[in-house]
Amino acid sequence: MATRDSEILSELERRVLWLAMWTIHHANHVREGDEVKVGGHQASSASMATIMTALYFSVLKPEDRVAVKPHASPIFHAIQYLAGNQELDKLKNFRGFKGAQSYPSRTKDTDDVDFSTGSVGLGVAQTLFSSLVQDYVAAHGWMKDRPEGRMISLIGDAEMDEGNIYEAVIEGWKQGLRNCWWIVDYNRQSLDAVVREGLWEKFEQIFSDFGWDVVILKHGRLQDTAFAKPGGDALKAWIDACPNQLYSALTFQGGDAWRARLRDELGDQGPVSKLIESYTDDELAALMSNLGGHDMDVLLDAFETASRSDRPTLFICYTVKGHGLPLAGHKDNHAGLMTPTQMSELRSALKVREGREWDLWEGTGNRAARLQKAVAEAPFFAKGRRRLSAAPIDVPERLSFPEAKGKAVSTQTGFGQILNEIARADSQFAERIVTTAPDVTVSTNLGPWVNRRGLFAKEELADTFKAERIPSTYQWAFSPQGQHFELGIAESNLFLNLSALGLSHSINGVRLLPIGTVYDPFIYRGADQLNYACYQDARFMLVATPSGTMLAPEGGAHQSIGTPLIGMAQDGLATFEPAFVDELATIMRFGFDYMQRDGESQPDERNWLRDETGGSIYLRLSTRPVEQPVRDIDPELERGIIDGAYWMREPGPNAQIVVAYTGAVAPEAIKAVGALGEYRRDIGLLSITSADRLNAGWTASQRARERGLVYARSHIERLMESLPSYCVLITVTDAHPAALGWLGSVWGHRTRSLGVEHFGQTGTIAALTAHHGIDAEAIVRAAEAMTAGRPVRRLHAT
Ligand X SMILES: Cc1ncc(C[n+]2csc(CCOP(=O)(O)OP(=O)(O)O)c2C)c(N)n1
Q: Which DSSP state fits 24?
A: H
Q: Which residue in the set 3, 28, 44, 483 belongs to the binding site for ligand X (CB under 6 A)?
A: 44
Q: How many residues bind Mg ion (CB under 5 A)?
A: 5
In this structure, are residues 375 and 381 in contact, taking their beta carbons and an 8 Å threshold?
yes
Q: Which residue in the set 93, 110, 119, 372 belongs to the binding site for ligand X (CB under 6 A)?
A: 119
Q: Which stretch binds ligand X (CB under 6 A): 65-73, 170-178, 233-241, 427-435?
A: 65-73
- Report how far apart the first and last C-alpha atoms of the chain are (Å, whole number): 85
If one asks whether residue 187 binds ligand X (CB under 6 A), the answer comes out as: yes
If one asks whether residue 333 binds Mg ion (CB under 5 A), the answer comes out as: no
Of 265 and 332, which CB lies nearer to ligand X in the complex structure?
A: 332
733: partner contacted, choices ligand X, Mg ion, none (Cβ within 5-8 A by kind): none
Q: Which residue in the set 114, 148, 157, 520 belongs to the binding site for ligand X (CB under 6 A)?
A: 157
Question: Which residues within the stretch 421-440 sit at the binding site for ligand X (CB under 6 A)?
Answer: none
The three-class DSSP label of residue 310 is coil
If one asks whether residue 481 binds ligand X (CB under 6 A), the answer comes out as: no
Shortest reach from residue 218's CB to Mg ion, in Å: 16
Tell me the C-alpha distance between 486 and 628, whole Å: 32
In this structure, are residues 331 and 190 in contact, taking their beta carbons and an 8 Å threshold?
no
DSSP assignment string, 33-76: T------SSHHHHHHHHHHHHHIIIII--TT-EEE--GGGHHHH
693: partner contacted, choices ligand X, Mg ion, none (Cβ within 5-8 A by kind): none
Beta bridge partners of 688: 645, 662
Q: Which residue in the set 71, 218, 432, 505 belongs to the binding site for ligand X (CB under 6 A)?
A: 71
Q: How far is CA 225 from CA 233, 280, 317, 376, 568, in A?
A: 11, 16, 19, 33, 61
Q: Which stretch binds ligand X (CB under 6 A): 156-164, 404-412, 497-505, 545-553?
A: 156-164
In this structure, are residues 338 and 41 in contact, taking their beta carbons and an 8 Å threshold?
no
Q: How far is CA 603 from CA 107, 616, 700, 712, in A?
A: 19, 17, 8, 11
Q: Which stretch binds ligand X (CB under 6 A): 116-124, 267-275, 659-667, 681-689?
A: 116-124
Of 329 and 644, which CB lies nearer to Mg ion in the complex structure?
A: 329
Shortest reach from residue 533's CB to ligand X, in Å: 15
Of 107 and 745, which CB lies nearer to ligand X in the complex structure?
A: 107
Q: Which residue in the set 14, 321, 539, 772 belongs to the binding site for ligand X (CB under 6 A)?
A: 321
CA atoms 606, 607, 608, 611: torsion sign: negative
In this structure, are residues 381 and 59 in contact, taking their beta carbons and an 8 Å threshold?
no
If one asks whether residue 159 binds ligand X (CB under 6 A), the answer comes out as: yes
Under 8 Å CB-to-CB from 797, ≥6 apart: which residues? Answer: none
If one asks whether residue 323 binds ligand X (CB under 6 A), the answer comes out as: no
Peptide bond into 546 cis (omega under 30): yes
If one asks whether residue 294 binds ligand X (CB under 6 A), the answer comes out as: no
Of 56 and 580, which CB lies nearer to ligand X in the complex structure?
A: 56
Question: How do the residues of the chain divide into helix, strand and coil, expressed in percent and rounded to 5?
Answer: 45, 10, 40
Q: Which stretch binds ligand X (CB under 6 A): 90-98, 155-163, 681-689, 771-779?
A: 155-163
If one asks whether residue 336 binds ligand X (CB under 6 A), the answer comes out as: no
Q: Give the up-direction half-sphere exposure of residue 141: CA atoms within 13 A in the CB hemisphere.
A: 3
Q: Which stretch binds ligand X (CB under 6 A): 50-58, 86-94, 157-165, 737-745?
A: 157-165
120: partner contacted, choices Mg ion, ligand X, none (Cβ within 5-8 A by kind): ligand X
Q: Which residue in the set 158, 626, 727, 765 belongs to the binding site for ligand X (CB under 6 A)?
A: 158
Of 159 and 638, which CB lies nearer to ligand X in the complex structure?
A: 159
Q: Which residue in the set 127, 189, 493, 504 belongs to the binding site for ligand X (CB under 6 A)?
A: 189
Tell me the C-alpha distance between 76 and 103, whole Å: 10
Q: Which stretch binds Mg ion (CB under 5 A): 179-187, 380-388, 658-666, 765-773?
A: 179-187
Shortest reach from residue 47's CB to ligand X, in Å: 5
Of 109 and 717, which CB lies nearer to ligand X in the complex structure?
A: 109
Of 187 and 687, which CB lies nearer to ligand X in the complex structure?
A: 187
What's the CA angle centered on 256, arms 254 and 259, to 5 degrees?
110
Of 39 and 62, which CB lies nearer to ligand X in the complex structure?
A: 39
541: partner contacted, choices ligand X, Mg ion, none (Cβ within 5-8 A by kind): none
Q: Look at residues 374, 476, 392 and name the one whose alpha carbon lies nearest to residue 428.
A: 392
Beta bridge partners of 194: 189
Shortest reach from residue 532's CB to ligand X, in Å: 10
Question: Which residues within the stretch 185-214 sit at the binding site for Mg ion (CB under 5 A)?
Answer: 187, 189
Q: How many residues bind ligand X (CB under 6 A)?
A: 19
Tell me the C-alpha distance between 689 and 642, whole Å: 7
CA atoms 639, 640, 641, 643: torsion sign: positive
Q: Which residue in the set 23, 28, 42, 47 belongs to the binding site for ligand X (CB under 6 A)?
A: 47
Tell me the C-alpha distance between 561 and 756, whole Å: 6
Kindly report the number of other CB atoms within 10 A of residue 282's CB atom. Answer: 11
In this structure, are residues 511 and 393 in contact, taking their beta carbons and an 8 Å threshold?
yes
If one asks whether residue 190 binds ligand X (CB under 6 A), the answer comes out as: yes
Greatest CA separation found in the chain? Answer: 106
Q: Which residue in the set 109, 111, 167, 185 belongs to the binding site for ligand X (CB under 6 A)?
A: 185
Tell me the C-alpha distance between 664 and 616, whole Å: 22
Of 137 and 158, which CB lies nearer to Mg ion in the complex structure?
A: 158
Of 75 and 739, which CB lies nearer to ligand X in the complex structure?
A: 75
In this structure, are residues 100 and 38 in contact, taking their beta carbons and an 8 Å threshold?
no
Q: Which residue in the set 38, 51, 120, 740 belongs to the binding site for ligand X (CB under 6 A)?
A: 120
Shortest reach from residue 202's CB to ligand X, in Å: 15
The interface mask with Mg ion, positions 118-157, x = CB under 5 A, is --------------------------------------xx
Q: Which stretch binds ligand X (CB under 6 A): 127-135, 189-197, 591-599, 626-634?
A: 189-197
The three-class DSSP label of residue 190 is coil
At CB < 8 A and 24+ separation, what contacts does 238-241 make?
A: 238/262, 238/265, 238/266, 238/272, 239/288
Q: Which residue is nearest to ligand X (CB)?
A: 156
159: partner contacted, choices Mg ion, ligand X, none (Cβ within 5-8 A by kind): ligand X
Query: Strand pairing of 478-479 and 573-576?
Result: unpaired
| Sheet of strand 313-318: strand arrangement | 65-67, 151-156, 180-186, 313-318, 213-217
Of 99 and 324, which CB lies nearer to Mg ion in the complex structure?
A: 324
What is the binding site for ligand X (CB under 6 A)? 44, 47, 69-71, 118-120, 156-159, 185, 187, 189-191, 321, 334
Residues that bind Mg ion in the complex, under the rule CB under 5 A: 156-158, 187, 189
